[in-house]
A and B are shown apart, each in its own frame.
Chain A
Amino acid sequence: MSTTPRDYVAQTSGRPKQRQALGISILGLLLTIGGPMLYMALMANSWIRASGAPAFVLMFLGSMLGIRAVARDHRLAIRGIGLLSPLLTILFAYIFFWGLKLPPSQTFESLTIAPAFTLPDEEGRAVSLDEVVASGPALLVFYRGYW
């Protein structure tokens, strides 16, 4: 049986290196999970909200560590933990860019005059759009609500 230099290194310095690979893969996974958490925390900033930058930076680093651990140590557990990071990153990117797409509205697109309305505010007082715009410009902000 031939022994490659890599096997030789693995045999001679076995344990510490394996432990290292496990540590690296877990660190990678923590970074990967931390990515979306950091994103949620910083979401008030509209650039961060739209780009997802902090999530992708941490998830990319986490995935790199995971892949590095798998390259170093071929045990099943390391593979599982190490490959989970890139998988989660791909899943997050998929949801972020495709899963959260919203349907464009033809009706909204063609509006030139805002439809009139009277709706209750948070205290239950009726607010009429006509009355508001009679005194100044109104910015209507339609949002998905509390969740």
Chain B
Amino acid sequence: MTELVGLRAVNEELQRRGGRVLAVSVDPPSRSREVVQNRKLGFSILADESGDILRKYGLLHEGGGPGKKDVALPAHVLVARDRQILWKRQSARVQDRPNPEDLEALVRGLRLGDDSSE
């Protein structure tokens, strides 16, 4: 959860290009609201409580959470127009996350005011 705080700058960089960060977890909106407000994230956390969307992405870790709860497998996906995937990365370990500076550099590589898709 602390990992989201590091994505503020990435979100600002995306906003300059008309886009944004969308975090997704199985938490209910009420839980995520606390995180968004308390941590002043500046971007949304979406709630996939049933895990249906996570399953579509191949990212539902069944019984992987505390108390054998189904949770998301941590992953990052950069999506352009027409839902084209420009870049993606799945975490190999629970504590493994991409460096926010690297993500920022990745987004800066996209053209301003365009999502760089053909």
Contact = CB atoms under 8 A, between A and B. Distances in A.
Tell me the dominant secondary structure on chain B's binding face.
mixed
A16 B32 CA distance: 56
Interface stretch (A6-14, A45-53, A61-69, A75-83): A45-53
Interface string B95-118: 111111001000100100001100
Contacts of A115: 53, 56-57, 83
Interface in A112-140: 112-117, 119-124, 127, 129-130, 132-140
Which range contains the number of B residues in contact with the other chain?
A: 35 or more
Contacts of A129: 22, 79, 83
A121 B45 contact: yes
A118 to B, nearest CB: 9
A97 B46 CA distance: 30
A135 B113 CA distance: 9
A100 interface: yes
Contacts of B17: 136-137
Contact of B29 (A104, A121, A130, A137): A121
Contact of A135 (B2, B19, B48): B19
Interface of A: 43-44, 46-47, 49-50, 52, 96-97, 100-109, 111-117, 119-124, 127, 129-130, 132-147
